[in-house]
Amino acid sequence: MKNIWTTILILAILLISGVCISQETNTGTVKEIEIPKPEVSVFFHLGDRIVSGWLSFLDWLGKTFEPIIGPIFRPINKFLERTYQPWAKICALGLFVGTMLWVWFGMKKEYVNLGRNKESIWTDLRWWTIISMLPHIIVYLYF
């Protein structure tokens, strides 16, 4: 019986406090101050100019060098277009993982770490090779 009255009391307190909180307003309590805001459109305009300049540069670069490198890369692109995409992803991942395994197991520790003063794990370049290649693997797995 005592437990029921405690529960009713807690529910009543929660209900009354909820009603009181919902009735509170903050209008008129704080003086309205106009804060000057920077003109954001200037930054957007500047960004548009930079992007437009970069795109026009890339367009010029493509028009200039396409006659030179087009005959070299067109056959390669035609060959690679016929490759099934999951197989291309598997091959790319195989290259990265194979390189990581080769660096760790195939190369001598003394050769990779020539001139290393400390023998801690953080100065072993084989670890850093693997760590630096992990983002590439994540990108290839994601895309």
Dig out the tokens for 83 from the structure. 């490759």
pLDDT tens per residue across all 143 residues of the chain: 557 777 777 776 766 666 555 555 556 566 666 665 566 677 778 888 999 999 999 999 999 999 999 999 999 999 888 888 888 888 889 999 999 999 889 888 778 777 777 777 777 888 888 899 999 888 888 77
- pLDDT given at position 32: 66
Handedness of CA 34, 36, 40, 41 (dihedral sign): positive
Q: Are 130 and 100 in contact, with CB atoms under 8 Å apart?
A: yes
- pLDDT given at position 61: 93
Dig out the tokens for 100 from the structure. 């990581």
Minimal CA–CA distance to 140: which of 77, 96, 82?
96
127-132 CB contacts, 8 Å cutoff, 24+ apart = 129/100, 129/103, 130/100, 130/103, 130/104
- pLDDT given at position 52: 93
- pLDDT given at position 117: 79
Listed in sequence order, the residues at least 6 apart from 81 whose beta carbon sits closer than 8 Å to its beta carbon are none
